[in-house]
Amino acid sequence: MGVTKTENFTTHQNELAALAKALGHPARIAILQHLLKVNACIGGELVAEIPLAQPTISRHLQALKAVGLLQGTISGTSVNYCINSARWREVQQLFNGLFDTYVAEQDCGC
Amino acid sequence: MGVTKTENFTTHQNELAALAKALGHPARIAILQHLLKVNACIGGELVAEIPLAQPTISRHLQALKAVGLLQGTISGTSVNYCINSARWREVQQLFNGLFDTYVAEQDCGC
DNA sequence: AAATTATATCGTAATATTGCAATAAACAAA
DNA sequence: TTTGTTTATTGCAATATTACGATATAATTT
């Protein structure tokens, strides 16, 4: 079907999955890495940086914005994108909340 | 097209994206959470836990196994699944490697 | 051997995602 | 007003994902 049965899962599970999904494309990782590297708000110099067509990059930016990782503010004809620092940390803690649940490495024979 | 242009990105970017993608479905989050909760290897009691059909859960398990987060060992007619602890920690550090790149919260006016 | 149990795979249908060309929209500059 | 610049949206086409029923596989049990 291609449709995820979100109603079968908790809000937390759905949110974590949605965030992971947003990170689930190398172009979106590259976008974030570039924003982290220059550590600033940049207008679409990403189109020059990333070897994909401008509409494609625009879509990836929307996907990251949709989960709150990015924010964009209009500045003349261009848009300044940057990382939403509060959300960024929140998301990191959401992921670590999952990862840290692993306690010991009890030998289970696997 | 629906096909990701992996050749345009680094191995690291592709790996991180593939891992995130594997976490990008609530059923797979639920599977991991359950494995973490019982902290043991379980045969497919997941089929009873998660409200999806058995073939669907099997596919999700394969997806998690494909990125190394799970390992399964055959035990009679059933399969014991558990988290690969080494890989688990490795993946956590990969994600934190991205998240920790965010240094300051310099005011960029966005 | 036949039946049972547990899991994987196949086939199929529906929806989602990715990508690009073309175009639109919004603003700036001449 | 016209021209250029930048970003978003639309309209495809191709591929991927999700889901389930049916079936296959593999080991255990009777």
- A105 domain residue, yes or no: no
Q: Does position B28 have pLDDT exceeding 80, yes or no?
A: yes
pLDDT at residue number A109: 56
Confidence of residue A39 (pLDDT cuts 50, 70, 90): confident
Instruction: Determine the distance in angstroms separating the CA of B98 from the nearest CA of chain A, rounded to an integer.
Output: 7
| Closest among B66, B61, B68 to B43, alpha carbons compared | B61
- B2 domain residue, yes or no: no
Q: What average pLDDT does the segment B14-21 reach?
A: 98
Confidence of residue A2 (pLDDT cuts 50, 70, 90): low
In this structure, the number of other CB atoms found within 10 A of the CB of residue B17 comes to 22
- A110 domain residue, yes or no: no
Alpha carbon A45 to chain centroid distance?
A: 19
Q: How far are the Cα atoms of A29, A50, A67, B82 from residue A34, in angstroms, in the given order?
A: 9, 9, 18, 36
Distance A25 CA to C25 C1' (A): 28
Q: Are B57 and B49 in contact (CB under 8 A)?
A: no
- B106 domain residue, yes or no: no
Give the ranges where chain A is alpha helix by DSSP (H).
11-22, 26-38, 46-49, 54-66, 85-99
Residue A82 sits at the vertex; the CA angle it makes with A78 and A86, to the nearest 5 degrees, is 145
Residue A67, domain CATH: 1.10.10.10
Residues of B in contact with A2 (CB under 8 A): none
Q: Does position A7 have pLDDT exceeding 90, yes or no?
A: no
- Note down the domain range covering B60: 8-92
Instruction: Express each pLDDT in B49-105 by its tens digit.
Output: 999 999 999 999 999 999 999 999 998 899 999 999 999 999 999 999 999 998 765
- B54 domain residue, yes or no: yes
Which residue does chain B place closest to A72, by CA atoms? B110
Alpha carbon A49 to chain centroid distance?
A: 18
Token pair 């902290």: residue: B39
Which has more pLDDT, A32 or B44? A32
Q: Does position A76 have pLDDT exceeding 60, yes or no?
A: yes
- A51 domain residue, yes or no: yes
Does A66 contact chain B (CB < 8 Å)? Answer: no
In chain A, which among 21-50 make CB contacts under 8 A with chain B? 21-30, 32-33, 36-37, 39-41, 50
- A92 domain residue, yes or no: yes
Token pair 């670590």: residue: A96
* Cβ of A55 less than 7 A from strand C: yes
Nucleotides of C under 7 A from a protein CB: 4-11, 13-22, 26-28
Q: What average pLDDT does the segment A37-44 reach?
A: 87
Q: Which amino acid is at A9?
A: F
Confidence of residue A104 (pLDDT cuts 50, 70, 90): low
Number of domains present in the structure of chain B: 1
Give CA–CA dist B32/A41, Å, rounded.
36
Q: Is A25 helix (H, G, I), strand (E, B) or coil?
A: coil
pLDDT averaged over every residue in chain A: 91
- B69 domain residue, yes or no: yes
Q: Are B56 and A8 in contact (CB under 8 A)?
A: no
Token pair 């929307």: residue: A62
